[in-house]
Amino acid sequence: MKHQLLTFCIGEQFLGVDIMAVREIRAWAPTTLIPNAPEHIKGVVNLRGSVLPVIDLSCRLGWGRIDAQERHVIIVVDIGGSLHGLFVDAVNDIVTVNNQDLQSPPAVAGHKAVDLLQGVASIDDRMVMLLTLDKLVEHDDAPDRIAA
């Protein structure tokens, strides 16, 4: 089986997401902050009349917050039927990865980012980390819902 990925970078790190989840790529737009949102939520933007939460992917992966500049982009992805924006440095290209070339992420004790990875592949002498999108929106610190 083959995976088609949209690849992008955060600093010197290369990552990818399943191309079928990508809805569009937008230029950076200032976000509106949401009170008490998790640290990795950069805010929300208007997407043709809908509110789009924007995830600071660097922060979500534990690499620190990105200071927004005009060169940054937002990759709009469908995660479980809801649209989310991934705030990244730049989009690279679309690549195809065979299943046998996708390796499990290394188990690094105490490192939450490994849970967010579906696998790692070597593409053009670069290591590309394939993200597990549904894990990006899970919150370890979310309060339990109380049934009424």
pLDDT, one tens digit per residue, over 102-136 is: 988 877 645 666 788 988 999 888 999 999 999 88
Q: Do residues 77 and 23 make contact, with C-beta atoms less than 8 angstroms apart?
A: yes
The Cα 89–Cα 116 span in angstroms is: 19
- pLDDT, tens digit (0-9, with 9 covering 90-100), for 47-77: 999 999 999 999 999 899 988 888 999 999 9
Query: Looking at the whole model, is its pTM more than 0.95?
Result: no
Sorted by where each starts, the structural domains of the chain and their CATH numbers stand as: 2-136 (2.40.50.180)
The SS3 of residue 55 is strand
Q: Give the list of residues 6+ apart from residue 27 with CB closer than 8 angstroms, or none.
A: 70, 73, 74
Question: What integer is the mean pLDDT of 68-92?
Answer: 95
Burial of 128 (0-12, 13-18, 19+ CB in 10 A): buried
Q: Do residues 24 and 52 make contact, with C-beta atoms less than 8 angstroms apart?
A: no
Q: Is the confidence at residue 4, as pLDDT, over 50?
A: yes
Question: What integer is the mean pLDDT of 26-49?
Answer: 94
